[in-house]
Amino acid sequence: MKLRDAGEYLLCMVFPERCIFCNEVIEPLHLACDACMADMHLILPPSCPYCGCHEQDCRCAEHRHCYDNVVAPFYYKGAVRSGILRLTKWDDPRAVDYFAAQMTAAIRREYPDIPFEAVFYVPMTKGDQRERGYNQSQLLAREVAKRLGLPLQHHLIKLYQTAPQKQLKLWQRQGNVLGAFGVTQLLEESHVLLVDDLLTTGASMDECAKMLKLYGVTTVTALTAALTPPDKGDE
């Protein structure tokens, strides 16, 4: 064992490494437990550009969103579901790093030809962010932007607090976020990425994409760590 490894090993004994998905204590220098590694639901190509699901899972009759396309590396199931829930409680940089790397790989694979100019993220209100201490969508967007060599933009803001989307029925969600987002200045970018941790109905993404376009953007590609599988739309 090298000296550096020995140091890391000692550190891990004092602060044990935890699985980035389920938070169980795991072996030092590992990222996830075996059970979680075996419970990942990757969205493999070919995927539907409009709902982001694998083509065989696609249920979209028509494209009715303000964003132009959706990319996500995972379905919101199993380990990834736990991992995304965990990300709302702990801003674990290893988890952020892992998801951002998978998101970056997915966007590079699906849209290598779109000349993205900036990365935006779905914002929280100042009060909500103060309470939590961070916005996980912003953390993911920052890492994705770094990996793609693009600027991270903070011009999208949340104007007022809304009821948590997951507490509402699907049909209530669009109305809940209507008018909740604003943009602080005219935008010069044509093609942008809009990052969130999770896409369910896409209501928040839609509202944010609508605002970005009102302020000058031409195309918005939604990029999330995970999306709800078509049969689990009510989660």
Cβ proximity to Zn ion, 16 vs 175, nearer residue = 16
- Kind of pairing, strands 156-158 and 181-183? antiparallel
Helix intervals (H) in the chain: 3-14, 34-37, 78-87, 93-110, 126-132, 136-148, 170-177, 203-214
Residue 149 CB, nearest approach to Zn ion (Å) = 30
Residue 58 CB, nearest approach to Zn ion (Å) = 3
Query: Treating both helix axes as pointing N-terminal to C-terminal, what angle do 93-110 and 78-87 enclose, rounded to 10 degrees?
Result: 120
Q: Which residues bind Zn ion (CB under 5 A)?
A: 19, 21-22, 33, 36, 48, 50-51, 58, 60
Cβ proximity to Zn ion, 50 vs 215, nearer residue = 50
- What values do phi and psi take at 42, rounded to 5? -70, 145
Distance CA 235, CA 226 (A): 13
Structure tokens at 72: 């996500």
Residue 71 CB, nearest approach to Zn ion (Å) = 12
Residue 185 CB, nearest approach to Zn ion (Å) = 33
Cβ proximity to Zn ion, 17 vs 207, nearer residue = 17
Number of helices (H), then strands (E), in the chain: 8, 7
Distance CA 74, CA 41 (A): 6
- Kind of pairing, strands 219-227 and 191-199? parallel
How far out from the chain centre does Cα 230 lie? 18
Cβ proximity to Zn ion, 107 vs 141, nearer residue = 107
Residue 51 CB, nearest approach to Zn ion (Å) = 3
Please choose, from the candidates 53, 39, 42, the residue with its C-alpha nearest in 3D space to the C-alpha of residue 228.
53
Residue 235 CB, nearest approach to Zn ion (Å) = 18
Cβ proximity to Zn ion, 60 vs 150, nearer residue = 60
Cβ proximity to Zn ion, 59 vs 132, nearer residue = 59
